[in-house]
Structure 1
Amino acid sequence: MHTENNRLRPAAFLDRDGVLIKDTGYAFQVDDLHVLPGVADTLKELQKRGFLLIVISNQAGVARGYFSEDDVKIFHQELSKQIEASSGAKIDAFYYCPHHPQGTVKSYAIECDCRKPGTALLKEAARAFHIDWEKSFFVGDRSSDIECAINARIRGFQIFSDQYVMHENPHANIKALSDVLAYLP
Structure 2
Amino acid sequence: MTHDPVRIGLVSISDRASSGVYEDKGLPALETWFGDVLLNSVEFVTRLIPDEQSLIEATLIELADAETCPLILTTGGTGPALRDVTPEATLAVAHKVLPGFGEAMRAVSLKYVPTAILSRQVGVTRGGSLILNLPGQPKAIKETLDGIFAAVPYCIDLIGGPYLDTRAGTIDVFRPKSALRISV
Q: What TM-score, normalized by structure 2, do the two folds share?
A: 0.31
Please report the TM-score for the alignment, with normalisation by the length of structure 1: 0.31
